[in-house]
Amino acid sequence: MADAERIAELRLALLGEHSSNAIYSRLRRDAPSRAIELTRDQLAREHEAMFVATKGQRVVGVLRCIDQRGHRLLRPARFALISTVYVEPAVRRQGVLRSLMEAAVGWSRERGLTEMRLQNAIDNPLALAAWDALGFRVVEQIRLRPI
């Protein structure tokens, strides 16, 4: 909980990097205060974990992992959903994301989960390459249509 405000800052930085994305570019005016409230709420949930990476005393990366129920007609019944992943640009390509993922994998295995899923924006080739390198493959797309 002590890191909630810093985690909220990183969440907003993540959204800021997607300023041309059709979904993530539509920040609410009160997003900063909402981000803090949302982060505190998520940190208190038993079926979620928020992993942070630090450099010295500074939080430089975050990864949220959720013990998510699966579709009632499909297996597995539960899976690990990776969300809110951000590493500060100055410390990228130094193993921070890999370390965060290792922590999430350990947490997920302790809970009996056997599969990880994530949703990511398609407008960041470096992030796409990172997810590929970490063993994720594309199995679904999200499409947007204004109405």
Instruction: Flag whether pLDDT at 58 surpasses 90.
Output: yes
Cα-Cα-Cα-Cα dihedral of 59, 43, 26, 16, to 10°? 10
Mean pLDDT (whole number) for 28-37: 96
Mean pLDDT (whole number) for 69-98: 97
- Residue 69 pLDDT class (50, 70, 90 cuts): very high
Task: State pTM to two decimals.
Answer: 0.93
Residues 9, 31: contact at Cβ < 8 Å? no
Give me the residue spans of the domains in the chain: 4-133
Mean pLDDT (whole number) for 94-111: 98
CATH fold of 4-133, please?
Aminopeptidase (3.40.630)
Mean pLDDT (whole number) for 10-26: 92
Average pLDDT, the chain: 96
- Residue 128 pLDDT class (50, 70, 90 cuts): very high
- Residue 109 pLDDT class (50, 70, 90 cuts): very high
Residues 81, 45: contact at Cβ < 8 Å? no
- Residue 54 pLDDT class (50, 70, 90 cuts): very high
Residues 134, 79: contact at Cβ < 8 Å? no
Helix runs in the chain, H state only? 4-16, 31-43, 96-110, 125-133
Confidence at residue 124, expressed as pLDDT on a 0 to 100 scale: 87
Instruction: Flag whether pLDDT at 123 surpasses 90.
Output: no
Percent share of the chain, pLDDT over 90: 88
